[in-house]
Amino acid sequence: MRALAITLILGALMFSCGSGGQPAGGSAAGEAPENPAISPDSLRNLYAEYMAARTDSMPTYQVKEEGKLYPVDEAPLDTAFFVFREQLKRTVAGKDVFGLLDVTAKDIKVSFGEEAGFDDFVVMWGLDSKQPDTLRIWRLLARLLAEGGTFADNRAAFIAPYYFSTWPGQYDPVDYGAIAGAGVRLRESPSLNSRILKTISHDIVTILEEAREEEIGGEAYPWIRVELLSGTQGYVFGKFVGDPVGYRVGFEKKTGGRWRIAFLLAGD
Q: How far apart are CA 86 and CA 57, in angstroms?
A: 12
Tally Cβ neighbours within 10 Å of residue 83: 22
Residues 67 and 117 in one domain: yes
Q: Judge contact between 250 and 263, C-beta under 8 A.
A: yes
Task: Return the ∠ at Cα 93 (arms to 157 and 123), rounded to 5°.
Answer: 70
* Gap between the terminal Cα atoms of the chain: 33
Domain that holds residue 198: 176-242
Residue 169 inside a domain? The answer is: no
Compute the distance between CA of residue 86 and CA of residue 162 in angstroms, rounded to an integer: 17
146 and 217 belong to one structural domain: no
Q: Any idea of the CA torsion for 38, 42, 43, 49, to the nearest 10 degrees?
A: -140
* DSSP-assigned states of every residue in 137-192: HHHHHHHHHHS-BEEETTTTEEEE-HHHHT--TTS-TTTEEEE-SSSEEEESSSST
Q: Is 199 in the same domain as 155?
A: no
Neighbouring-strand partners of residue 223:
237
Same domain, 91 and 198: no
Same domain for 98 and 204? Answer: no
pLDDT, tens digit, for every residue of 66-104? 999 999 999 999 999 999 999 999 999 999 999 999 999
Angle in degrees, CA 49, 248, 189, rounded to 5: 100
One domain, residues 159 and 204: no
Is residue 192 situated within a structural domain?
Answer: yes
> Same structural domain for residues 235 and 250?
no
User: How would you class 148 by CB atoms within 10 Å of its CB: exposed for 0-12, middle for 13-18, buried for 19 or more?
Assistant: buried
159 and 202 fall within a common domain: no
> Residue 189: which residues within 8 A CB-CB, separation 6 or more?
195, 235
Whether 118 and 204 share a structural domain:
no
* pLDDT number for residue 113: 78
Give 148-167 pLDDT, tens digit per residue: 999 999 999 999 999 999 99
Q: Assess whether 118 and 86 both reside in one domain.
A: yes
Report pLDDT for 155. Answer: 96
The CATH number of the domain holding residue 182 is 2.30.30.40
pLDDT value of residue 7: 52
Closest CA to 85 of 226, 210, 250: 250
Residue 171 resides in a domain = no
Peptide bond into 161 cis (omega under 30): yes
Domain total in the chain = 2
- Answer whether residue 144 is part of any domain: yes
Is residue 264 situated within a structural domain?
no
Q: How far apart are CA 166 and CA 176, in angstroms?
A: 14
- Residues of the chain with confidence (pLDDT) below 70: 1-37, 115
Model confidence, pTM: 0.86
Residue 259 lies in a domain: no
* 16 lies in the same domain as 112: yes
Helix (H, G, I), strand (E, B) or coil at 106: strand
Q: Is residue 94 part of a domain?
A: yes
